[in-house]
């Protein structure tokens, strides 16, 4: 997060043109994917996550193994750690 800008002791607000374009796009995309995964599980289906070398199937019983991060990244639990699914 950028630090606030002060000029002559006053806080300077950013205009819309100065803000980062699409700064919420990743979060919106992550929420959409997470919602689609939940819908697939609710319909009795499964979600397949694949990489170049292997894939994993997640069923409704694995629902707790997938989480949405604050930045919009999806994570899958692997043991006690969480793997990012952004590049799958």
Is 34 among the domain residues? no
What's residue 4's pLDDT? 64
> C-alpha angle with apex 51: 21 to 35, nearest 5 degrees?
55
Q: How far apart are CA 48 and CA 59, in angstroms?
A: 9
pLDDT along the chain (88 residues), means of 10: 67 71 85 95 95 90 94 92 86
Is 10 among the domain residues? no
What's residue 7's pLDDT? 72
- Give the residue numbers spanning the domain of 76: 59-88
Is 75 among the domain residues? yes
What's residue 67's pLDDT? 95
Is 88 among the domain residues? yes
Is 68 among the domain residues? yes
Count structural domains, the chain: 1
What's residue 88's pLDDT? 67
Is 67 among the domain residues? yes
pTM: 0.71
């Amino acid at each position: 997060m950028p630090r606030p800008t002060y000029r002559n002791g006053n806080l300077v607000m950013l205009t819309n043109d100065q803000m980062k374009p699409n700064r919420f796009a990743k979060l919106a995309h992550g929420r959409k994917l997470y919602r689609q995964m939940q819908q697939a599980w609710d319909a009795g289906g499964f979600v397949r996550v694949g990489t170049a070398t292997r894939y994993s199937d997640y069923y409704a019983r694995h629902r707790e193994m997938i989480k949405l991060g604050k930045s919009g990244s999806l994570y899958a639990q692997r043991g006690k750690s969480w793997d990012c699914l952004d590049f799958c």
